Structure 1
Amino acid sequence: MSTSRTSIFFAGATGYIGGSVLYRLLQHPSAKTFDITVLVRSQEKAKKLESFGVKTAIGSLDDHALVEELASKAHVTFNTADSDNVEAIRAILRGAQKRHATVGDLPIYIHTSGTAELADSDALGNKTTDVIWDDTNVEQVESIPDAAFHRNVSLEVIAADKAGYVKSYIILPSTIYGRVKSPLVDAGIQNPQSIQIPYLIKAALGRKQAGMVGKGVALWADVSNDDIADLYIALYDAIAANPDKVGHGIEGYYYGENGEHTWYSISRAIGEALVGLGVSKDPEPTSFTDDELIKYYGSLMFGNFNGTNARCRANRGRSIGWKPKYTTQDMLASIKAEVEAISKQ
């Protein structure tokens, strides 16, 4: 990686993960050597981002020609936005291929997926699994079904790496938690709130009692927003220091986890917070009906997702120096504040 200026294309800066990663890049010891261009939809947020010292391009991931052009001008691309927009990712990869062909550079692509790739489909909250996914087990990573959530895009990213015109790395966050507090949030740029746990909270507020899929015994890994953002930086730093020692392509899966929880434990914590607010009289969660899952999640498929198992170990990230600090107990302790904040929205 260049020791002078490093051109970076960043997608997803206004998001929950992306804003935290971008802010870390802005605070990075090498920040003065970064030329960061952020893709952003609104002119208003573009002006705000520019005040932090980055360049902006107005558009979305669906502006494929623009995305391809921005990627072709960057040595490093971070995509923390839509992990299922296959045409957008193809545009990024075309840009990387063009850069490799014209500049002779071997671009770096850091892609965001999620441990939903690892989730089973038949647990329905009523059973746990003994399967624990290890991101250093390449044979196991290769065995992820092609039809798994997010997997079609990940396979395109891996194939591009194998073709030799880009080095690709895929970060797969698990259940992410913690409300973000940062200057980007204060400026109205970054979304401070996650998705999975807030959905459960909103459903609980709607039914005035905590809910869960089935018995809530299925297991998922979890990771704090702070820790997952640190993983992106640990990965970038490892690539910058010695790229030959950092797994990429099919060896470039990086799970984000620092513990695991049952869905029941989250719902119970939500229930206790609801009792504290006087919304509910009983902290014990009850099972969602099919009608409730459709009402609060839009479909049974998405609703039942909170009854799947997705157990994993982030051994590859730890091997390159990532040191997550926050645990499952921190996640459960954070729920009360999350419930209080969402109840006021």
Structure 2
Amino acid sequence: MKRILFIGGTGYTGGPILSYFIQRQRDDPTSLDITALIRSPLKVERLRALNLRLNVVHGSHEDADLVERLAADADVVLSLADSDYLPAAQAVLRGLKQRFETTGAKSILIHLSGVGCLADNAQGMFASSTIYTDMDFTRIEALPATQPHRKVDLAIVDADSEGYVLAYIVLPSMVYGTPVGILADAGVQNPNNRWFETFIRASFERGAAGLVGEGKNCIGNVHVTEVADLVIILYDAIRSKATIGHGREGYYFADNGDLPFEEIAKVVEIGAGPRRAFTWSEIHEVRPGQLNPLPFFGNNLRSRAEKARTLGWNPVKTNEDFLAAAKIQVEHWKA
């Protein structure tokens, strides 16, 4: 597990993970051979200027031939970019299959997905009592292929079943907080959760904290650094040849609490004004070059990271930390 390919390693969630592996390489220069596929020319330039022992490749996860070629040379692929872009996942899997057919070695694929697959279209009108656990993979398997992220997740699980890759899928709840690490310090990684930022922006622009429906739905949360902790713990468990679930048994939730979305809106209204429901046109407004997560915020997304905790993952950030982080963002927008 020496040659590692990072896709999405300078993103909001990926940055702390890549930073950790860079630090591990610094501590033991012979331990890892890291390649990072980087979309931004400016980030490529900055990374190379840091003089890290890092093979920086300029390109995108949309460059299928390049992704396939890089994956074919990797012991481990950390797929941390777009969790809904199936062509990228297919390119990775083609590369890993080619490697298996050439060498007989199964590569490791750790893919960052999300709990969007649990969306129930509650439209903010009720709090569901349904809570998914990563110990019950049969319930996750029963989720329709039409759910967010599922097409990619299913392609990865199928590849594991075919026997040429060992696949692990990490599903974070709503990620928040300030990323830390080498890349954050160097200003190379994305520092903001664009999904949550878009919600705050939309609230401020109309002068009222937003809700989808009544905001009764419950959404989980997890700190960005604790997502990184889980990925690293998972990697180390695989490296130590511990017996852990992969493929259809390889789903790992990342969460440490959930709360009704109206509680989040209460924090935002401190700066944006009294909360009220988004109109239909506001929810479905298309903003060029921007994400539109507003419909997402009306779903119940409740999970429990029980399997992750059996590996030793022990998140300490709570709902209170999440609301405090939201307040900081609101204060920033007020300023």
The TM-score normalised by the length of structure 2 is 0.93
* d(CA) in 1 for partners of 2:284, 2:93: 36
Distance in 1 between residues matched to 2:207 and 2:107, nearest whole Å: 50
1:27 aligned onto 2:26? no
Cα 1:34–1:95, aligned 2, differ >3 Å: closer, same or farther?
same
- Cα deviation for residue 43 of structure 1 reads 3.4
Matched, 1:156 2:155: yes
Verify the 8 A CA contact 1:297 1:303 in the aligned structure 2. no
- Given that residues 177 and 325 in structure 2 are in contact (C-alpha distance below 8 angstroms), is that contact kept between their aligned partners in structure 1? yes
Structure 1: runs of 5+ lacking an equivalent = none
Q: Deviations over 1:139-189 (max 9, x none)?
A: 112111111111011000000000000000001111011122443134231
The residue that corresponds to 1:177 in the other structure is 176
Answer yes or no: is 1:117 the counterpart of 2:117. Answer: yes
2:221 aligned counterpart, secondary structure: strand
Q: In the TM superposition, what whole-angstrom CA distance separates every residue of 1:69-118 from its partner, at most 9, and x where no partner exists?
A: 10011100001001111111111001111111112211000011110001
2: CA distance, partners of 1:219 / 1:97: 40
Q: CA deviation at 1:57?
A: 1.1
Q: Deviations over 1:25-50 (max 9, x none)?
A: 12238753110000012333223223
SS at 1:310's partner residue? coil
Tell me the TM-score normalised to structure 1 length.
0.91
Q: Are the aligned partners of 2:20 and 2:181 in contact in 1 as well (CA < 8 Å)?
A: no
Matched, 1:11 2:7: yes
**Helix, strand or coil: the match of 2:124?**
coil
Residues in 2 aligned to 1:44 and 1:219: alpha-carbon distance in whole angstroms: 39
**Aligned residue number for residue 107 of structure 1:** 107
User: What secondary structure is seen at the aligned counterpart in 2 of 1:205?
Assistant: helix
- The alignment status of 1:37 with 2:31, answered yes or no, reads no
SS at match of 1:202: helix
Distance 1:288 1:109 in 2: 39
The Cα shift of 1:343 comes to: 4.9
Query: Alignment length, in residue pairs?
Result: 329
Task: Measure, in 1, the Cα distance between the counterparts of 2:268 and 2:201.
Answer: 10
Q: Distance in 2 between matches of 1:44 and 1:285?
A: 39
Question: Counterpart amino acid of 1:148?
Answer: Q
Amino acid at match of 1:155: L
Matched, 1:287 2:277: yes
Secondary structure in structure 2 of the residue aligned to 1:330: helix
Equivalent in 325, 328, 331 of residue 337 of structure 1: 328
- Hey, what's the Cα distance between the residues in 1 that align with 2:287 and 2:276? 16
Are the counterparts in 2 of residues 203 and 296 from structure 1 also a CA contact under 8 Å? no
Secondary structure of the structure 1 residue equivalent to 2:256: coil
Q: Which residue of 2 aligns with 1:192?
A: 191
2:255 to 254, 257, 260: 257
CA contact (8 A) 2:16 2:180 kept: no
* Residues 193 and 343 of structure 1, relative CA distance in 2, 3 Å threshold: farther
Where 2:314 maps in the other structure, the secondary structure is coil
Amino acid across the alignment from 2:281: D
Q: Supply the RMSD in Å over aligned alpha carbons.
A: 1.9
Counterpart residue identity of residue 4, structure 2: I
4+ residue segments displaced more than 6 Å: 296-299
* Structure 1 residue identity aligned to 2:75: H
CA distance in 2, matches of 1:75, 1:128: 43
Say if 1:55 and 1:341 are closer, same or farther in 2 by CA, change over 3 A.
farther
Aligned to 2:219: 220
| Paired letter, 2:21 | L
